Amino acid sequence: MRFALFGNTHETNKSTHAEQLLRILSHYADEVYADPDFYRFLREEQPFPFEPAGIISDLAGQEIDMAISLGGDGTFLKAARCIGDTGIPIVGINTGRLGFLADVSPDEMEHFFALLHEGRYLLRERCLLRLTTSDAPDRPIYALNEIAVSKHDSSSMLAIHTAVDGERLTTYMADGLLIATPTGSTAYSLSAGGPIIYPQADVFVLTAVSPHSLNVRPIVIADDKTIDLHIESRSGSFLVAADGISHSLPATTTLTIQKATHTIRVVKQEGSTFFQTLQKKMLWGTDPRE
């Protein structure tokens, strides 16, 4: 198999995991290609040698069988952005904290790649959000977790006029608004009080961030709907972030959010289920008295 390797470039204390992974891949991989940032990190910050078959600049047209993300969910999201609509599946090795997307632990790597070599793994499709702006309607931005609208600074709250399929929903008076996929329901949206959504559910969730009114609650809508946002801001601008990558926009900009036509394919361990992940990551079913 030909692998594309992405990794966390901020924590040198986790270099042993990279060394372990490269040792395992020497047995199972025909070729390993590297993300340029991760390759630079390995060469400059780590003592062990690594010579990839090539450096990844654009995965479109590359004959890559699978991508590997070594890090947390942030690293996984970076890999997903690079993969785009190529259909290359991603496996996440979790060296971060919680890790809903990257859920193979370093202790499981040896066993996982042995099963992978035998074709014993699962592929799960995850939907994406597609964001376009009135200023650049032909340059869409994609997000696997969420689109987040937020204040540009510590100024007063935003007024976020929201319509679904052209029908007015409400005006959120809040610090921000999150439009999350089922995948993103366990990320920023969850911390803002949003519900956990089963990954294969065909829905999006809208969650306000610090709303002015206690009557405002998260709402779940079908993912075939189109969401239009018009933002009023006293500062004259606001931030919009796709999976944490922010852009500053003038308040005259209208946002349109839809389901993308392509998906991200996530590699899961054989026998792994979402409910098992919830039990493991969020300690569901654990008696706090024990």
Q: Position 266: which residue type? A: V
Quick check: 92 and 104 in contact, CB under 8 A?
A: yes
Tokens of 15: 């270099």
Chain-centre distance of CA 57, in angstroms?
A: 20
Closest CA to 160 of 168, 171, 151: 171
> Of 35, 73, 103, 243, which one is the catalytic site residue?
73
Burial class (CB in 10 A: 0-12, 13-18, 19+), 248: exposed
Q: Is 153 a catalytic residue?
A: no
- Catalytic residues, which ones? 73
